Amino acid sequence: GEDVEQSLFLSVREGDSSVINCTYTDSSSTYLYWYKQEPGAGLQLLTYIFSNMDMKQDQRLTVLLNKKDKHLSLRIADTQTGDSAIYFCAENQAGTALIFGKGTTLSVSS
Amino acid sequence: DVKVTQSSRYLVKRTGEKVFLECVQDMDHENMFWYRQDPGLGLRLIYFSYDVKMKEKGDIPEGYSVSREKKERFSLILESASTNQTSMYLCASTTGASSGANVLTFGAGSRLTVL
């Protein structure tokens, strides 16, 4: 079955770049997503990328997609303490339910 | 501001009790979902619904049922709560579009403790 894998923890210093990686197994995935969960809250969508794209940039966020290797990454430039959260990678085919990874806890120290 | 509202943020129940978790969305979304979130396990899909009175099992439906009598409301029911159902429960909704990105809007979560 489909699977989405992420490392569980990442620790960075304030001002550094953070890179959160994700691999997925379903080669027919149409969309890939990054969600953020702050403490005590639900998930909120950060960004998503269509599978025929290899990069998407939105302010401090850069998403890279390597479809051949089924690898997705989220880069956060100039990481701030407010970026501390759990980041979830997810994928789906159009019209189907999302499959989520287990989440990467990002810890930002000042 | 569009919303998914989970009426109970924190609940404490006893083993064997019947538990109702309520979720309401105001976006006229067709699709609604219930996930549970556990440390180290991420989000697991319990049930989802693509329309009123319609339901589909997710990956871990055992011990749960759902009700969708109105489009805006999707209820998760634990018929007889057990301690292994202690978890964070997340409700989400999205439009029913068969193409395009499936952007979920999540509620804030309901943290259930079963003693």
**Alpha-carbon distance B81 to nearest alpha carbon in chain A (angstroms):** 23
Taking the Cβ of residue A24 and every Cβ of chain B, the question of whether any pair is shorter than 8 Å is answered with no
Q: Quick check: helix, strand or coil at residue B34?
A: strand
Structure confidence at residue A1 as a pLDDT band (50, 70, 90): low
CB atoms B108 and A102 under 8 Å? no
Q: Is the pLDDT of residue B2 over 80?
A: no
When pLDDT is averaged across residues B72-96 and rounded to a whole number, the result is 94
Check residue A2 and give its pLDDT: 64
**Are the CB atoms for B20 and B77 separated by under 8 Å?**
yes
Q: Is the pLDDT of residue B92 over 80?
A: yes
Torsion angle of C-alpha atoms A9, A21, B58, B41, degrees rounded to 10: -20
Nearest-by-Cβ selection for B101 from A31, A35, A97:
A31
Residue of A nearest to B99 (CA): A94
| Identity of the amino acid at A74 | L
A34-56 residue pLDDT tens: 999 998 889 999 999 998 889 99
Q: Which residues contact A87 (CB under 8 A, 6 or more apart)?
A: A6, A20, A34, A35, A36, A37, A46, A74, A103, A104, A106
A chain contacts of residue B4, beta-carbon cutoff 8 Å: 42
Distances (CA, A) of B105 to A68, A76, B63: 30, 22, 25
Residue from B25, B43, B46 to probe the interface with A (highest A Cβ count within 10 Å): B43
Between CA A82 and CA A90 the distance in angstroms is 22
| Identity of the amino acid at A15 | G
Q: Is the pLDDT of residue A95 over 70?
A: no
CB atoms A42 and B90 under 8 Å? yes
